[in-house]
Structure formats: structure tokens, C-alpha cells
């Protein structure tokens, strides 16, 4: 069956939205609006998988949900043409996740590296939700039968699991799927990851081997989307580098993770390939490259920060966007849930 192309992706409202989230995901969310129908979700159910100290408790969750929504809109997502909402308003996410829990295999989840990293050594104490996170993510995407998912590189393995779940559901229920009019036995599409650009994995400014992340204890490891110009300048000037001048060719970046990261950020923000950036800055010292990077970062991020500030100052307006988006999302989700319930054999009101 040819599926109608549809984009779905989400961002967790866990605070400290950063340049990695922006370049790895949100920039592509904005681009894909031109070619696809898009659904962008603030995945608040996912936030709960971490200890409460990480997501900050109820008032922080609500504040961060509005802040991520504001970031989407400030970055250029149009909530009238596309759908923007928060996950917990559409109960289908949790309902489909249960069905998928019974499709996914424990062995598949045991291979998920993000769980291993986030649970760390204290695995016994991690929430069941953290372990099950990728199944809920599969439900998020497939509830809308989405075909394309723009994400950062760290989500690649979870996307593969979503494809495995879709495939196994289609296989397990193939006869029933055909019996309900889907003649090729494919009810769920196998969603394609869309991981592209020179900054699919932005690294920490303090350690070029670690991903830039919301939960890093050091605020100097990341550029937050709400940072002001002075803070951005300080963070970039203090970013770890090495003593060599910048190389003139991309190959010269390979053994130099911090240099590679800063050049990747510059390339992504200026929408140029890394090779072009190195043609301009290769052979020069980091100090002058960092000055240019500060200027570019401030020019690109300051208008977004200002618009975010304006939007979060009016929570009623942001909530109205989420409520309207959830109504539209719920209508699509209801169709998927009805068909899924019929395929599985659940008796329901007609
Ligand atoms: N460093 C990154 N580089 C590129 N893309 C990134 N993403 C996250 N970090 C980077 C992408 O941002 C989207 C939203 O991520 P999320 O809200 O699901 O949170 P996460 O992946 O857990 O991101 P964080 O910020 O790193 O949080 P913690 O500290 O909790 O691990 C996703 O598409 C993600 O790929």
C-alpha cells in the first residue's frame, strides 16, 4: 500500500532546550513543513520516564511544555498549517503503546543503548517507563501512521525499533489486516528516519566525545536556546579546543572532536558544508574562528530567544495552540485506534 507521506517528531519538555535539539531536529522540522503534512509533539509522557528531579516536578513540566512549544513556533513552525500539541492530551499514544508492548520483544529493548546510558549502573532503580520509552516512541509515530521522522543521530536505534514493531504487527495480524480491507497486509508504514545536515550529533562544548545534552550538569557544555548574547559568547570562548590551527580539509578534523564539533555547528548555522567553512577558516587560529562563530550564533539564535520570551509571557496563547493542535491530532489518532482495535479483535461501540 502506498502510504500518504506524513511527518511526525517530538521533543521532551525536560528543560534546557539546546543548540543540539535545534540543529539536530527542529531545523529539519521547519524545513519539512514545505513538502509534507507535519505533526510536532511536545512529548510530556516521555519526560516522566526520568526521575522527578530531572524534569523538575509539575510546575516545571508545564513551564517546559510551553517553552518547547514556543521554541517550535519561534523557529518557524506554523501551527495553523501543521499540528503542534502535547502528547498527554491524546490518549491514543498510551493506548497504542500498550498494544505495541505486547508486540515488541524484551530482547529488542535489551539492546537499546540509550536506556543503558541513561539508567547507568543503577539499572534496578530506573523506571519501567525509561526501559519502555522506545515502545511509546513507536506508538507516537505510528498513531499517525507517519512515514518520515526527523530526529538527531542519537534516535536512530529507536527508529529502527519502531520499524521492527510496525513490521511485526503487520506480520502478526496480517490476515486480519487484509480482512479489514488493507489488501497488502500493511497497516502500519515502516517509518523512515530523516537524519541529515552537518550537525546531526552536536557534541558538548566541554568534551567533544560527549553529546550535547539537556541533563549535563555543566551549563557550559551547551548553548541553550534561551541564552543571551553575552552568555553565548562566554560559552563559545570557553569551549574546549586543541592547540593546532584549524585544518584546511575535512579529513584533518577526524582526530579532533572539538574542532569537528565547532566547525559542524558553524556549517549548520550558516547552511554551508564543512568543507566550505574550512576553506574560509582553515589555517587560522581558533580565537578568530570562535569570534565568527559567536557572531553567527548570536545572529541566528537571538531572534528565536526573543520570540520565545514573548510567547512564554502569554501562556494562555500557547495553551490555546496546544489545545487546538491536540483536537486535530486526536481526530487522526481516533481513526488509527479504531482500525487497530478492529484488526486486533477488540469489541467496540460502532
Ligand atoms: N546533541 C544533539 N545533537 C543533535 N540532535 C540532538 N537531539 C538531542 N540532542 C542532540 C535531538 O533532539 C530531539 C529532541 O530530543 P529529546 O527531547 O527527545 O531529548 P534527548 O534526545 O534525550 O536529548 P537531550 O537534550 O540530550 O536530553 P538528555 O540530556 O535527557 O539526554 C531528538 O530528535 C534528538 O535526536
Q: Is 59 left (phi over 0), alpha (psi -120 to 50) or beta?
A: alpha
| Predicted confidence (pLDDT) per residue in 226-253, tens digit | 999 999 999 999 999 999 999 999 999 9
Domain assignment present for residue 206? The answer is no
Please compute the mean of the pLDDT values over residues 171-190 and round it to a whole number. 97
Q: Which of 223, 237, 243 is nearest to 301 (CA)?
A: 223
Instruction: Identify the pLDDT of residue 121.
Output: 87
Q: Indicate the average pLDDT of the chain.
A: 96
- Cα 102 to Cα 51: distance, rounded to the nearest angstrom: 25
- Cα 298 to Cα 314: distance, rounded to the nearest angstrom: 24
231 and 97 inside one domain: no
Instruction: Identify the pLDDT of residue 83.
Output: 98
| Predicted confidence (pLDDT) per residue in 106-123, tens digit | 999 999 999 999 999 889
Model pTM? 0.96
Q: Residue 280 belongs to a domain with what CATH number?
A: 1.10.240.10
| Predicted confidence (pLDDT) per residue in 251-292, tens digit | 999 989 999 999 999 999 999 999 999 999 999 999 999 999
Whether the CB of 47 sits within 6 Å of ligand 1: no
Sheet (strand 192-194) strand order: 83-86, 37-42, 6-11, 148-150, 192-194
Domain assignment present for residue 214? The answer is no
25 and 97 inside one domain: yes
Selecting among 80, 121, 211, 238, the annotated active-site residue is: 211
> Could you tell me the residue range of the domain that residue 296 belongs to?
219-310
Domain assignment present for residue 253? The answer is yes
74 and 190 inside one domain: yes
Q: Which three cell numbers stand for residue 193?
A: 528516519
Residue 1: pLDDT above 70?
no
Cβ atoms of 226 and 74 within 8 Å: the answer is no
140 and 289 inside one domain: no
Q: How far is the CA of 203 from the centre of ligand 1 (A)?
A: 11
| Predicted confidence (pLDDT) per residue in 192-209, tens digit | 999 998 899 999 999 999
192 and 61 inside one domain: yes
Domain assignment present for residue 208? The answer is no
Residue identifier of the C-alpha nearest atom 2 of ligand 1: 20
Residue 54: partners with Cβ closer than 8 Å, 6 or more residues away: 14, 215
76 and 183 inside one domain: yes
| Predicted confidence (pLDDT) per residue in 8-35, tens digit | 999 999 998 999 999 999 999 999 999 9
249 and 187 inside one domain: no
Helix (H, G, I), strand (E, B) or coil at 319: helix
Q: Which of 140, 214, 225 to mutate to test the pocket of ligand 1 (most atoms within 8 A of CB)?
A: 214
231 and 123 inside one domain: no
| Predicted confidence (pLDDT) per residue in 60-109, tens digit | 999 999 999 999 999 999 999 999 999 999 999 999 999 999 999 999 99
Domain count, the chain: 2
- Residue 333 — very low, low, confident or very high, per pLDDT cuts 50/70/90? very high
Q: How far is the CA of 1 from the centre of ligand 1 (A)?
A: 32
Could you tell me the end-to-end alpha-carbon distance of the chain, in angstroms, rounded to an integer?
26
Residue 146: pLDDT above 80?
yes
Selecting among 81, 116, 156, 214, the annotated active-site residue is: 214
Closest atom, ligand 1, to C-alpha of 18: 25
Identify whether 349 is a catalytic site residue: no
Domain assignment present for residue 212? The answer is no
Residue 308: pLDDT above 90?
yes
Please compute the mean of the pLDDT values over residues 121-148 and round it to a whole number. 97
- Cα 333 to Cα 300: distance, rounded to the nearest angstrom: 35
Whether the CB of 211 sits within 6 Å of ligand 1: yes
Q: Which of 19, 20, 151 to mutate to test the pocket of ligand 1 (most atoms within 8 A of CB)?
A: 20
Residue identifier of the C-alpha nearest atom 34 of ligand 1: 152
Instruction: Identify the pLDDT of residue 350.
Output: 86
Amino acid at each position: 500500500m502506498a502510504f500518504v507521506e506524513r511527518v511526525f517528531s517530538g521533543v521532551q519538555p525536560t528543560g534546557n532546550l539546546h543548540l543540539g535539539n535545534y540543529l539536530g531536529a527542529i531545523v529539519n522540522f521547519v524545513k519539512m513543513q514545505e513538502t509534507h503534512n507535519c505533526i510536532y509533539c511536545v512529548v510530556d509522557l516521555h519526560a516522566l520516564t526520568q526521575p522527578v528531579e530531572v524534569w523538575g516536578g509539575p510546575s516545571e513540566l508545564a513551564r517546559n511544555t510551553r517553552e518547547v512549544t514556543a521554541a517550535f513556533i519561534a523557529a518557524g513552525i506554523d501551527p495553523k498549517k501543521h499540528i503542534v500539541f502535547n502528547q498527554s492530551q491524546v490518549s491514543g499514544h498510551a493506548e497504542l503503546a500498550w498494544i505495541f508492548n505486547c508486540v515488541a520483544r524484551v530482547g529488542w529493548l535489551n539492546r537499546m543503548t540509550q536506556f543503558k546510558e541513561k539508567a547507568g549502573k543503577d539499572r534496578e532503580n530506573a523506571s519501567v517507563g525509561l526501559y519502555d520509552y522506545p515502545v511509546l516512541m513507536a506508538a507516537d509515530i505510528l498513531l499517525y501512521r507517519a512515514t518520515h521522522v526527523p530526529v538527531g543521530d542519537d534516535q536512530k536505534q529507536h527508529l529502527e525499533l519502531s520499524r521492527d514493531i510496525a513490521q511485526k504487527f503487520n506480520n502478526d495480524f496480517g490476515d486480519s489486516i487484509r480482512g479489514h480491507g488493507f489488501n497488502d497486509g500493511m497497516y502500519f508504514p515502516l517509518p523512515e528516519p530523516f537524519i541529515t545536515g552537518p550537525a546531526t550529533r552536536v557534541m558538548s562544548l566541554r568534551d567533544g566525545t560527549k553529546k550535547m545534552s539537556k541533563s549535563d550538569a555543566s551549563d557550559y557544555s551547551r548553548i541553550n536556546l534561551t541564552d543571551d548574547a553575552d552568555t553565548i559568547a562566554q560559552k563559545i570562548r570557553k569551549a574546549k579546543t586543541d592547540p593546532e590551527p584549524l585544518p584546511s580539509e575535512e579529513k584533518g578534523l577526524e582526530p579532533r572532536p572539538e574542532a569537528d564539533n565547532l566547525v559542524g555547528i558553524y556549517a549548520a548555522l550558516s547552511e554551508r558544508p564543512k568543507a566550505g567553512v574550512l576553506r574560509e577558516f582553515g589555517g587560522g587560529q581558533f580565537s578568530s574562528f570562535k569570534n565568527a562563530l559567536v557572531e553567527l550564533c548570536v545572529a541566528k539564535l537571538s531572534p528565536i530567544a526573543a520570540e520565545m520570551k514573548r510567547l512564554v509571557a502569554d501562556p494562555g496563547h500557547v495553551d490555546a495552540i496546544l489545545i487546538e493542535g491536540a483536537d486535530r491530532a486526536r481526530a487522526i489518532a481516533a481513526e488509527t485506534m479504531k482500525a487497530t482495535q478492529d484488526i486486533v479483535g477488540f469489541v467496540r461501540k460502532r
